[in-house]
Amino acid sequence: MGNLVAELSKSNNILSGYCPYCGSRVHLLSSHKQSELIRDSYVECNNKRCGHRYLLQISFVHTTALPKYLTVSHHLPLSKQLQSKLKSEKNDNISKTNEVICG
């Protein structure tokens, strides 16, 4: 089942995946933005004897690391690990502030 998941090739940033019928690579036919967080991509199997075409939906799930140089203006879901990390950092900052104030 893991082969059905779309992946972004690190070498050329091209969406790639595998045909659920024959296991061959697929190529992108077209892609349409449904919303800021969802994209529909029509793909076709590279194996001409198979010829399977299907819709692949790519959606945002959650943030695993905040952008380093951008102001975050979206209120997007965060992974549980990132939530814990940010909460811990916030608590550390509050403790340091209290130490400075209380002296």
CB 54 within 8 A of CB 46: no
Distance of CA 13 to the CA centre of its chain: 13
Higher pLDDT, 83 or 103: 83
Q: 35 is written with which tokens?
A: 């919303």
For the chain, count helices (H), then strands (E): 1, 5
pLDDT tens track for 5-58? 444 443 444 567 899 999 999 999 999 999 888 999 999 999 999 999 999 899
What are the residues whose beta carbons fall under 8 Å from the beta carbon of 7, sequence distance 6 or more? Answer: 15, 16, 17
Q: Tell me the sheet residues that pair with 16.
A: 7
User: Residue ranges of the domains in the chain?
Assistant: 2-59, 62-103
